[in-house]
Amino acid sequence: MTNWMPTLSPEKPRYVAIADAIAADLTGGKLKAGDRLPPQRELAWKLGVTIGTVTRAYQEASKRGLLSGEVGRGSYLRDPRPNYAAAQSISNGVEPGLLDMQMSAPPRVTQAADFEAGLTEIMRDPGWIELLDYPSAQGFALHRAAGVKWLKKSGIDISSDQVVLSSGAQSSLISVLSTITTPGERFLIEPLTYPTMQPICRQFGLQMRTLQNDAEGVTPDSLEHYARRGEARIVYIVPTLQNPTTATLSMERRQAIADIARHYDLTIIEDDVFRLLADDAPPPIQSMAPERTYHITSLSKTTAPGLRMAFMAPPPGATEALNRQQMIIGGRPNALSAELARRWIETGVADRALTAIRQELGVRRDIAMQYLGGLQVRCAPGSMFAWITLPPYWRPSDFAAAALAIGIKVTPGSAFAMDPSVQQNAIRACFGPAPSREMVGDAFERLRALIDKCPVEDCHTMA
């Protein structure tokens, strides 16, 4: 056992400083692979910190691939070779030691064994050497058939000739917009929505016109308001567990939107990436207006985002143009990913991942809500984030900066506003990607303490 006594950087949270010291001393030779670190209680006592801080520090070091060990058996140092966890933090642009609550991603539930089994099966089948060739524009028929099966879970019934494969819902959105819009045209969108729509619309020269939302989501009246005046011909909607408000449109609203679209000849882009996480989502708008709806789903939120696999159900007759566009923009999926996704859909691994993600999100949501009592929070069951209205003394951007200073990345509400006039005083905190439930609890405890702490001297004058 090592008698290690770390030197801690005073600027960082204690647990990050301890993890940093482990890394530095491994590189510097004070520690070596195979050494056992002091028991947590002992190190806590030596450093004058709580055991919880040392537990977090060791978790952080494990996340960086510096420790191995089982609960109760001690923490042993590992070779600080690059590992996937550390590599991912780097490539995601998240510094080690920061908890990323910005990324709207599910908890990682996919088992290494499923990954290995899927890839091994692919390698064993000599026919799949074809995966290394350029795929055709529409992709492999088997992959489209898997898409039909997955879309059926959402109540979408289309043929495999009609399904469009792409490398994530974001690629699907880009190929739809590049196919059906013309630069300069007006485009209807919810006032708060998926932030990446801003740069995408800018890229296509679209002028966004924001609809109105109430507690249930986008209002059909606001859609009719623009449609009647012929102001736009395309509308983008996230109908289920909306990002960031977590609202789900009722059956009546979906029907009203479909009716208005038909009456005024609007095209609907239905981005339903969160749908399968909801308990009882009403039928998709696509099923009410299939002739004018581009329905988009992906495996990112329901299986694994790194697969980069999405399925689109476009209106009849639209498939060929979309596939052509996918070739131009480079939006086709990697055939290896598509094959892994197909096998997981066919063998039930994807269903199992979906169930596990839903369960884990439910537990995490309960943990988060324990710390958010008395605040105005939107976090519908199934969602992977909480949309938290801040007290008037916090500006969302200041709050996000203050949260970053304590090691937590959250997104200020302005990132979701499609129009600068959309007033909101909220932040979005995602509890999906955190490495553990403990870290979710700890993060929300600290965020709550920060919310309650007024950043200026006299808060009463601002209430």
Ligand X SMILES: Cc1ncc(COP(=O)(O)O)c(C=O)c1O
Enumerate binding residues for ligand X (CB under 6 A): 104, 168-170, 194, 238, 243, 271, 273, 298, 300, 305, 310
The distance of closest approach from Cβ of residue 307 to ligand X in the complex, given in angstroms and rounded to an integer, is 9
End-to-end CA distance of the chain: 55
Structural tokens at position 352? 């199992």
If DSSP codes are grouped into helix, strand and coil, which group holds residue 463? coil
Sheet of 377-378: strand order equals 377-378, 385-389, 426-430, 411-412
The residue number whose beta carbon is nearest to ligand X equals 168
Tell whether the torsion through CA atoms of 311, 315, 318 and 320 is positive or negative: positive
* Residue 103 or 454 having the CB closest to ligand X: 103
The distance of closest approach from Cβ of residue 430 to ligand X in the complex, given in angstroms and rounded to an integer, is 9
The distance of closest approach from Cβ of residue 401 to ligand X in the complex, given in angstroms and rounded to an integer, is 22
Residue 371: closest CA among 445, 267, 263: 445
Q: C-alpha dihedral over 87, 368, 250, 171, to 10 degrees? A: -10
Residues 6+ apart with CB under 8 A from 3: 38
* Residue 61 or 176 having the CB closest to ligand X: 176
* Residue 170 or 213 having the CB closest to ligand X: 170
Residues 6+ apart with CB under 8 A from 108: 304, 433
The distance of closest approach from Cβ of residue 13 to ligand X in the complex, given in angstroms and rounded to an integer, is 28
* Residue 296 or 368 having the CB closest to ligand X: 296
Q: Measured between alpha carbons, how far is 429 from 104 in angstroms, rounded to an integer?
A: 9
The distance of closest approach from Cβ of residue 162 to ligand X in the complex, given in angstroms and rounded to an integer, is 19
* Residue 287 or 297 having the CB closest to ligand X: 297
CB of 379 closer than 8 Å to CB of 362: no
CB of 136 closer than 8 Å to CB of 332: no
* Residue 300 or 424 having the CB closest to ligand X: 300
The distance of closest approach from Cβ of residue 449 to ligand X in the complex, given in angstroms and rounded to an integer, is 28
Tell whether the torsion through CA atoms of 52, 58, 60 and 62 is positive or negative: negative
The distance of closest approach from Cβ of residue 451 to ligand X in the complex, given in angstroms and rounded to an integer, is 24
The distance of closest approach from Cβ of residue 291 to ligand X in the complex, given in angstroms and rounded to an integer, is 23
Q: Where are the alpha helices (DSSP H) in 12-100?
A: 14-28, 40-47, 51-63, 84-91
Three-state SS across 236-274? EECCCCCCCCCCCCCHHHHHHHHHHHHHCCCEEEEECCC
* Residue 22 or 338 having the CB closest to ligand X: 338
The distance of closest approach from Cβ of residue 336 to ligand X in the complex, given in angstroms and rounded to an integer, is 17
* Residue 223 or 277 having the CB closest to ligand X: 277
* Residue 65 or 217 having the CB closest to ligand X: 217
